[in-house]
A and B are shown apart, each in its own frame.
Chain A
Amino acid sequence: MKPLALSILFFFCLIGSPETLAATVRITPGQSIQEAVDRASAGDTLTISEGTYKQFGIIIRKPLTIIGENYPVIDADFKGNILIVATTNLTIQGLKLINTGRSNMDDSAAIKFFDSKNCVIRDNILENTYFGLHFSNSSQLTIINNKINASALKEFEVGNGIHLWKCKNSYIGNNQVFGHRDGIYLEFVTNTQAKGNLVERNMRYGLHFMFSHDNSYIRNTFRKNGAGVAVMYTKNVVMRENRFEENWGSSAYGILLKDISDSEVVGNVFLKNTVGIYMEGSSRIEFKNNTFRENGWALKLMASCDQNTFQANNFTQNTFDISTNGSTVLNTLTENYWDKYEGYDLDKNYVGDIGYRPVNLYSVIVEKIPAAVILWRSFMVTLLDRMEKIIPTLTPDEMIDESPKMRPYDFG
């Protein structure tokens, strides 16, 4: 009797504490992931074996760890979402998710999160998805090392790579996003950091955010996106050491700042953009230690901006340094290096003795009549510019850097 009683006791102990003993469930090709998820209890680990799974619309409502072995492929065959999540403490790792539906009605996505918390999405590969990772009303998300690649030809044929709506306290790091509409899209997202992402060749914007306060963007690269980066209606933004490269087009910008305030843009590189920075309605932004190189216009500073400071930046080989649309100047330029500066430095303190006016007459003319760009660098235009430099008439008199550096800064 005794051994039996013991074993019964032991059995009760087992079922009495299911939470503490998380099981590992293996899923092999041919099995339904949805059924495995439904059968699993909270805290279980689902291991998905290598292979192809033609499944979609998998709903997950409990905390699980889902790990793919050698990137199992989950192919939705162009029908709907692949994973739909509303839970806490979920980890999704090592999956290859391909071919989501193409619907604007339900915003088909590879993984879609609602009302979730504490989730980790890492090391996944997404191919040919409409939306890549889509989060709404969630927090404490960790989105790292995902490769997201779409190959649409038109902007309306594809959604955003990483899409966050009404989220907070999240981290988006080391992801690669190619070929989507917007690479990273944030709306009403706060206290979030994006770091080390590579966002390239997206149809519209590399990074696009609105009403997303207190976020920081560090060491990201935004390259060859349709219209560069556009950010709006936000305060307390920190942008450090990002690279904005080769955004070419009639309305492409390294970065477009619209109604951004109390922010800092430090140590970034703007290389070969049609317009490095375009800003309007923005206030109290500090631009420091940035490099503007080989842009068409390094800076288009609209007269609606005020109290911005441009300090210690390098401006080299830009066709035009700054252009503006009015005569009022409410911003400060100081201690920048301008390669077009032609002044002298008698006291040898490496600061030019006369100020530098970065607004070029011809940039004002080109702003009004774009066709006039064809005469740029002709003798005629050079003469006009010289005259304007001596006696400013059309260009704003106060747009001046009183302490231009003689040597470029070395930002390494």
Chain B
Amino acid sequence: MLKLLKYALYDILKSRFAMIYTVFMILVAVSIYQVSDDLSKVSLSLMNIMIMIVPLISAVFATTHFYNNLEFIELMLAQPVKRSHVFLSQLLAVILMLSLSILIGFGLPMLLWGADSSLVTLLGVGVILSAVFAGFAFLASVLTRDKAKAIGISLGLWIYFSLVYDGFVLYLIYSFADYPLEKVTLGLVMLNPVDLGRILMLMQLDISALMGYTGAFFQQFFNSSMGILVAGGTLFIWVLWPNLLAMRVFKKRDF
């Protein structure tokens, strides 16, 4: 398993993509640091990148990576190794590479020019979102035999979680404005990892606004140990289930 992971990682780190992605992240972070005059503005801009771009790149990259390595995977499957090990090595390699790019790309400028707690949270959110969307991508890849279709599914999931879902929630809030919606929206937010990540950031950036009427409820929830536990647990579940489901399908799939 470790050996497999080692080779998968070597392979992925040698690819041009890992380089380009990391350099891209560094460039983005550096330019934002240069342009903005204070830290909270930096974390705002970086957050937009993190919530939009990171899931997108994770989804697309993980899908293409799976198909590019399909021959290698098939070869490995012919060897006396566990299927789950083959799958996990590929998946972990992708997640590790994506996380490393974020940690280096955003982390280095932060080390250089300083960071506050919101920026550190941001790094965590980035890593988690990468893992979630890599999971979705692998799931899409093992479910179909066509690369284009798999990319299509990954992109669809990305659009759904970043855009469509929020539109749906907004519509719901608008339609049922007369009812107490705090708990319902809280529940709905749990069903979207991107929203969860965003709200963890919101807790740090817009604390004053959140201290208002309804915000105080959310604030109370997310700042209580119970709330942190629930939010953290939910994010963990979001990381686990697509990945585990993908592994299950992979194990039974006929190559």
Contacts and interface: CB of A to CB of B under 8 A. Distances in A.
A278 to B, nearest CB: 11
A274 B177 contact: no
Interface in B39-79: 40-41, 44, 47-48, 51-52
A379 B49 CA distance: 10
Which has the most chain A C-beta neighbours within 10 Å: B40, B47, B170?
Answer: B170
B124 interface: no
Given A317-B38, A380-B167, A274 B211 contact: yes
A250 interface: yes
A317 to B, nearest CB: 6
Contacts of B216: 249-250
A22 interface: no
Given A317-B40, A339-B41, A371-B181, A274 B174 contact: no
A368 interface: yes
B212 A296 contact: yes
A56 interface: no
Contacts of A379: 51-52, 162-163, 166
A248 interface: yes
Contact of A371 (B38, B185, B195): B185
Interface residues of A, number: 35
B96 interface: no
B210 interface: yes
B202 interface: yes
A296 B177 contact: no
Nearest to A250: B213
Contacts of A383: 163
Interface string A361-398: 00001001111111111111111000000000000000
A378 B166 contact: yes
B244 interface: no
Interface in B120-168: 162-163, 166-167
B250 interface: no
Contacts of A272: 207-208
Contacts of B38: 317
A376 B44 CA distance: 12
Contact of B214 (A297, A319, A370): A370
A273 interface: yes
Contact of B209 (A249, A320, A369, A381): A320
Given A371-B185, A374-B185, A249 B211 contact: yes
A172 interface: no
B155 to A, nearest CB: 15
A373 B215 contact: yes
Interface of B: 38, 40-41, 44, 47-48, 51-52, 162-163, 166-167, 169-170, 173-174, 177, 181-182, 185-186, 189, 194-195, 198-199, 201-202, 205-216, 218
A380 B163 contact: yes
The main secondary structure of chain A at its interface with chain B is loop
Contacts of A252: 211
Nearest to A374: B185
Closest 7 CB pairs of A and B: A296-B209, A370-B214, A319-B209, A380-B166, A248-B211, A296-B208, A371-B181
A191 B212 CA distance: 35
A381 B202 CA distance: 14
Given A317-B40, A317-B41, A319-B208, A375 B215 contact: no
Contacts of A297: 209
16 contacts: A250-B212, A252-B211, A272-B208, A273-B208, A274-B212, A296-B206, A317-B38, A320-B209, A373-B215, A374-B218, A377-B44, A377-B198, A378-B198, A379-B163, A380-B166, A381-B166
A319 B216 CA distance: 15
A75 B185 CA distance: 54
Given A296-B215, A378-B194, 14 more contacts: A249-B212, A250-B213, A252-B211, A368-B177, A369-B173, A370-B215, A371-B181, A373-B209, A373-B212, A373-B218, A377-B47, A377-B198, A377-B205, A380-B170
A372 B212 CA distance: 12
A61 B19 CA distance: 87
A16 to B, nearest CB: 69
B236 to A, nearest CB: 21
Contacts of B174: 365, 369, 372
A381 B214 contact: no
A319 B206 CA distance: 6
Nearest to A275: B212
A313 to B, nearest CB: 17
A373 B213 CA distance: 10
B210 to A, nearest CB: 7
Contacts of A339: 41
A248 B182 contact: no
A375 B211 contact: no
A320 B212 CA distance: 12
A249 B214 CA distance: 10
Contacts of B185: 371, 374
Nearest to A295: B208
A249 B215 CA distance: 9
Contacts of B213: 250-251, 370
B209 A371 contact: no
